[in-house]
């Protein structure tokens, strides 16, 4: 199962929001992604607890969730996935005693 940030487009949106809060339209203008696709990615990020949104006039402005537990979880999830892949490679190498 890929996590919310494993998708490169979502990661780009997330990193862009980490720099400054933005509305859907701004993100769609700056990134090579259609407006509906941006909305869909934001929905996934929001459900993953990575971003929050608030109304600003007629728009909704998205920003990275300051509470951050979702972010921390996502970070460590991917951290350990990567670590265990490295571990598996090491554990399946022939040992020196066997050689």
Partner 1 sequence: MTTQVDATSVATAIDVEAPVEHAFRVFTDGIGSWWNPSHHILEAELAEMVFEPYVGGHIIDRGTDGSECRWARVLAYDPPRLVCFSWDISLSWQLETDPAKTSEIEVTFTPDGPSRTRVVLTHRNLDRHGDGWESMRDAVKEGWSLDAFAAVAAA
Binding site for partner 1 (CB under 8 A): 1-3, 5-6, 8, 11, 15, 18, 64-69, 71-73, 75-93, 95
Sequence-distant (≥ 6) Cβ neighbours of residue 60 within 8 angstroms: 23, 24, 53, 54
Least distance CB 77 / partner 1 (angstroms) = 4
Least distance CB 27 / partner 1 (angstroms) = 18
Least distance CB 85 / partner 1 (angstroms) = 5
Q: How many C-beta atoms lie closer than 10 Å to residue 77's C-beta?
A: 15
Measured from the CB atom, is 42 or 74 closer to partner 1?
Answer: 74
Closest by CA position to 75, among listed 13, 9, 14: 14
């Amino acid at each position: 199962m890929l996590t919310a940030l494993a998708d490169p487009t979502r990661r780009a949106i997330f990193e862009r929001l980490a720099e400054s809060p933005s509305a859907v339209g701004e993100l769609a203008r700056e990134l090579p992604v259609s407006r509906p696709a941006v909305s869909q990615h934001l929905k996934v990020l929001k459900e993953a607890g990575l971003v929050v949104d608030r109304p600003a006039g007629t728009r909704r402005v998205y920003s990275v969730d300051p509470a951050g537990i979702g972010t921390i979880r996502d970070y460590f999830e991917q951290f350990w996935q990567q670590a265990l892949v490295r571990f598996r490679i090491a554990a399946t190498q022939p040992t020196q005693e066997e050689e």
